[in-house]
Amino acid sequence: MKRLLLASCCALVCSVLAAGCGGSSAALSPGRFAGTYNGTWVHTTDLTDAGTSTWTFSPDGAIDGTDTDPGRHTTFHVVGHIDAVGHVTTTSTPTGGDPATLTGTLAFDVQSRLSGILVWGVTPPLNYRYTLTRQ
């Protein structure tokens, strides 16, 4: 009887662990970010350096979007990738200008927006807070 009870308990624990592992791996995929987002970006120390963004994340994590800088009358084409945990690696190319990297981590905040600091890879590097809302 003890063996049967022990075997049942082991089977239950294993099935709970397997379900938990399966659920967490499914939740941690780039697909959780899929959709089109609109939002804002702002320099972390110069609040006058700010603009808007429209980014689309595909289920495989590909990013394609635009950042608009009204102060410079410039639009940036942003292409790249977001991984399962929100690490962003992109190239941001201004109209008629040279590309620069834009990297960092985005995460869902308590209001279900994607938010985080991305670093524009120019000299010196510039830090921007992005806040994006899924449409």
pLDDT at 100: 96
pTM of the model: 0.80
pLDDT at 113: 97
What are the strands, taking DSSP E only, across the chain? 35-43, 50-57, 62-69, 74-82, 87-94, 100-105, 107-108, 114-120, 126-134
Is there a contact between 88 and 72 (Cβ–Cβ < 8 Å)? Answer: no
Burial per residue of 41-64, b for 16 or more beta-carbon CB atoms within 10 angstroms, e otherwise: bbeeeeeeeebebbbebeeebebe
User: Residue holding tokens 């089977």?
Assistant: 11
Instruction: Tell me the C-alpha to C-alpha distance, in Å, between residue 105 and each of 13, 22, 108, 128.
Output: 35, 24, 10, 11
pLDDT at 68: 98
pLDDT at 6: 42
Tokens describing residue 125: 């590097």
**H helix runs in 28-132, sequence order:** none
Residues of the chain with pLDDT under 50: 1-24, 26
pLDDT at 9: 45
Tokens describing residue 1: 């009887």
81: left (phi over 0), alpha (psi -120 to 50) or beta: beta
pLDDT at 75: 97
Distance of alpha carbon 99 from alpha carbon 18, whole angstroms: 45
